[in-house]
Amino acid sequence: MGNAAGARRPEDDEARGVAGGAGGLSGDAEGGARTVKLTKVYGSGAMAVRALDRVSVVFPAGRFTAIMGPSGAGKSTLMHCVAGLEDATSGEVYVGDQELGVLSDRRLTRLRRERIGFVFQAFNLLPTLTARDNIMLPTTLAGTRPDQEWFDTVVRVLRLGERLSHRPAELSGGQQQRVALARALVTRPQIVFADEPTGNLDSRTGADVLALLRRAVDDLGQTVAMVTHDPVAAGYADAVVFLADGRIVDVMEAPTADRVLDRMRGLGAQS
């Protein structure tokens, strides 16, 4: 199957040194996150598995990027490496202008806490804390005070004003996910990573969460990178990065669910 409209060929990108990146995704590359020839290998010798193979990609500031591909393509590994949760075997990873590979464990932990937000399938809310305290947990752990104006803005945009005194057990699944998203946004991070954020939700609640991620980008200027297997979810993004066998094989701008589904079918036929 040929490249979708707006897509790039990996060999074209490699010649620029930023595969599927600066030339394939519009926006401020320096303000978001990026990788340069990122390689991740698990194991060694005959048992080595190359999960990522010289991947160069940009997640531009103020944009919503989806990451898709067949099972085992390297989607979650890419996200974990860019988020500083796993070390790269070789290559470079930047959040803003900071290269992660040169940081000590202490500085990397601080960067993750202050400049990166996470939203996962499991909400990971503390059951004994109110919604307000769960949202403020990153600043509490850091020993800092949240920006009250920003906190109020996030709460308003995510429609949580009447739920701040409730504990997780008193909230619906969608409300819990909104609290988790607010917690990811409260430090005004450089980038928010969402790993299958609608995987445990019904279709209606999932659509609400995706709309909220979209609003976080459009109304709050947030940068979002989301791993998903769902073409409908990918349709909320500004662009989709497609992985197969640890390499970027396509980048699609202005995706729709139908176009993404067609491209995924093509990847399935290739695998």
| Model confidence band, residue 26 (pLDDT cutoffs 50, 70, 90) | very low
Quote the mean pLDDT of the chain.
85
| Model confidence band, residue 105 (pLDDT cutoffs 50, 70, 90) | very high
**Residues 29, 123: Cα–Cα separation, whole Å:** 29
Stretch 113-136: mean pLDDT: 90
Least confident span in 51-55, 109-113, 117-121, 235-239: 117-121
CB neighbour list of residue 226: distance below 8 Å, 6 or more residues apart: 64, 65, 66, 67, 193, 194, 195, 197, 213, 233, 237
Stretch 136-164: mean pLDDT: 89
**Do strands 28-42 and 90-95 pair parallel, antiparallel, or not at all (unpaired)?**
antiparallel
Question: Residue 11: is its pLDDT beyond 60?
Answer: no
Question: Residue 23: is its pLDDT beyond 50?
Answer: no
**Residues 33, 115: Cα–Cα separation, whole Å:** 11
Least confident span in 83-92, 119-128, 243-252: 119-128
pLDDT in the model for residue 188:
85
The one-letter code for the residue type at 125 is L
What the chain holds in terms of domains, given with CATH numbers, is 10-270 (3.40.50.300)
E-only strand ranges, the chain: 28-42, 49-61, 64-68, 90-95, 98-99, 116-120, 191-195, 224-227, 239-244, 247-253
Q: Which of 124, 189, 111 is nearest to 150 (CA)?
A: 189
Top-confidence residue, 133 or 196: 133
The one-letter code for the residue type at 211 is A
Query: How confident is the model over 29-72, as pLDDT tens digits?
Result: 556 999 999 999 999 888 899 999 999 999 999 999 999 999 88
Structure tokens at 228: 């998903």
pLDDT in the model for residue 267:
80
**Do strands 224-227 and 90-95 pair parallel, antiparallel, or not at all (unpaired)?**
unpaired
Query: How confident is the model over 188-236, as pLDDT tens digits?
Result: 888 999 998 887 777 887 888 888 889 889 988 899 999 999 999 999 9
Q: Which of 162, 131, 159, 132 is nearest to 146 (CA)?
A: 132
Task: Work out the burial of residue 270: count CB atoms within 10 Å of its CB; fewer than 13 is exposed, 13-18 middle, 19 or more buried.
Answer: exposed
**Residues 176, 216: Cα–Cα separation, whole Å:** 17
pLDDT in the model for residue 266:
83
pLDDT in the model for residue 167:
97
pLDDT in the model for residue 144:
86
The one-letter code for the residue type at 203 is S
Other CB atoms closer than 10 Å to residue 49's CB: what's the count? 11
- Residue found by looking up tokens 């308003």 in the block: 156
Stretch 80-106: mean pLDDT: 94
Question: Residue 182: is its pLDDT beyond 60?
Answer: yes
Helix axis angle, 173-185 relative to 148-157, nearest 10°?
A: 150
